[in-house]
Structure 1
Amino acid sequence: MPVRIERNPGAARSGVRSLTLEVSTDDGATWQPLPVKRRGATWTAQVTNPGSPGAVSLRGTAVDRAGNKVVQTVIRAYGIG
């Protein structure tokens, strides 16, 4: 499942300096980093779903050029049936 992050239209143009993404299949007890690729203002990562039923949680950390940082965690972002 691809994850794609873009700058919102009209957002400040300071830009994202770094972005890390992590995935968890145990409701956030443990996290594994995802490789992130940047092309211009778009960042993408590929999530490999687990082979068994359950839920996938995602956590992203973005830092802009001014040093501001935001961390967003979504526990049980989507389920695997």
Structure 2
Amino acid sequence: MNAFQKAPSQGFLVRYDKNKGSGSAITARLGWKRADKSDSTATWDSTWYSVGPGQYIKNTWHLSYPCNYKWVGLLQVSGQGIFRTPDTAC
């Protein structure tokens, strides 16, 4: 999973690529939050996606926050929990 932001006007992109090969699909959605805040403050994509081997999901959010914060990309997998990217900043 990757998360990056170049500038607030360009948005905050979160992308998850499921490794190619065998394995079953997962049901997941993407989100983001400020790195210093709890998961309960996260903004989530309203859609849950089925992601199989070799597929990906991505979303871009245009934030109106200043660049001095650090952000975390989130992947919520049904039945498995929430996974986080390393902190990122513009």
Flag whether TM exceeds 0.5 (same fold): yes
Q: Residues 59 and 39 from structure 1, CA distance in 2 versus in 1: closer, same or farther, beyond 3 angstroms?
A: closer
Report which structure shows greater RCO (CA 8 Å, sep ≥6). 2
Q: How far apart, CA to CA, are the structure 2 residues paired with 1:42 and 1:4?
A: 7
Q: Secondary structure at the match of 2:65?
A: coil
Unaligned runs of 5+ in 2: 1-11
Unaligned runs of 5+ in 1: none
Aligned equivalent of 1:62: 77
Q: Does 1:15 align with 2:25?
A: yes
Q: How far apart, CA to CA, are the structure 2 residues paired with 1:59 and 1:9?
A: 21
Q: Secondary structure at the match of 1:54?
A: coil
| Letter paired with 1:33 | W
Relative to its length, the structure with more strand (as a share) is 1
Q: Residues 9 and 33 from structure 1, CA distance in 2 versus in 1: closer, same or farther, beyond 3 angstroms?
A: same
Relative to its length, the structure with more helix (as a share) is 2
Q: Secondary structure at the match of 2:73?
A: strand
Q: How does 1:42-61 map to 2 (within 5 A)?
A: 42-52=56-66, 53-61=68-76
TM-score by length of 2: 0.57
TM-score by length of 1: 0.61
Q: How many residues align?
A: 73
1:54, CA displacement in angstroms? 1.1
Aligned equivalent of 1:33: 44
